């Protein structure tokens, strides 16, 4: 753990959460969901729209798992007191 006291560390089991969604390959989207929940840097609808835009053309089969991974990461981080 860092010696600094100005950081908030939140261990997130992204690989485990991603595997529960069906594949560890969506671990990055789990982390994106968690970051979104913690920072509210952009609206969740914007991220969902971006995922749909990228995967909606020829990669439709990946859409559901990625949206589920985003929601799972968001839900995990939303349960953590800040």
The answer on pLDDT for 47 being more than 90 is: yes
DSSP state for residue 62 in the 8-state scheme: G
> What pLDDT is recorded for position 56?
82
Share of the chain above pLDDT 70, in %: 99
If one counts every other C-beta atom within 10 angstroms of the C-beta of residue 75, the result is 13
Look at residue 2 and tell me whether its pLDDT is greater than 90: no
23 pLDDT above the threshold of 90:
yes
pLDDT at 57 > cutoff 90:
no
Q: Give, in order, the Cα–Cα distances in Å from 77 to each of 4, 5, 59, 82.
A: 22, 21, 27, 9
**Other CB atoms within 10 Å distance of the CB of residue 16:** 12
């Amino acid at each position: 753990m860092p010696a600094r006291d100005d950081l908030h560390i939140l261990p997130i089991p992204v690989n485990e959460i991603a595997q529960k969604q069906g594949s560890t390959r969506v671990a990055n989207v789990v982390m994106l969901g968690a970051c979104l929940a913690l920072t509210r840097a952009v609206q969740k609808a914007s991220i969902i729209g971006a995922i749909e835009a990228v995967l909606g053309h020829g990669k439709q089969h990946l859409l559901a798992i990625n949206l589920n991974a985003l929601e799972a990461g968001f839900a995990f981080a939303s349960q953590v007191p800040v």
